[in-house]
Amino acid sequence: VRIYELMKSYSFRHTITFEIDELKKLLMVEDVKSYNRFPDFRRFVLEKAQSEINELTDITIEFDPIKTGRKVTSIKFIIEEKYSQ
């Protein structure tokens, strides 16, 4: 729900980039130890939210991890409105 609200508020921009720490703080999961590793955060938070948002809401989202060296430091979200006919 929090990711949907965040994406909906930035949907007019179509793309938005968040640093990992900033995104975790906005989603209020910065203290969850199991999300310290990016693969876990990606699998349990980002991919799950992406599938639910794309299936159930009026927007579709995609995300691309942005790396600095080997470490993922930011995530770029691409937001598109679904047009019902």
Residues 27 and 32: their CA atoms lie apart, in Å, by: 11
Per the model's pLDDT, the better-predicted residue between 80 and 82 turns out to be 80
Instruction: Classify residue 44 by burial, with Cβ atoms within 10 Å: 0-12, 13-18, 19+.
Output: middle
User: Encoding tokens for residue 28?
Assistant: 């209020």
Domain ranges for the chain = 2-81
pTM (predicted TM-score): 0.88
pLDDT digits (tens, 9 = 90+) for 15-68: 999 999 999 999 999 999 999 999 999 999 999 999 999 999 999 999 999 999
User: Encoding tokens for residue 16?
Assistant: 């938005």
pLDDT value for 84: 61
pLDDT value for 63: 96
pLDDT value for 19: 96
Q: Which CATH class is domain 2-81?
A: mainly alpha
| pLDDT grade for 83, boundaries at 50, 70 and 90 | confident
Contact 78/62 with Cβ under 8 angstroms? yes
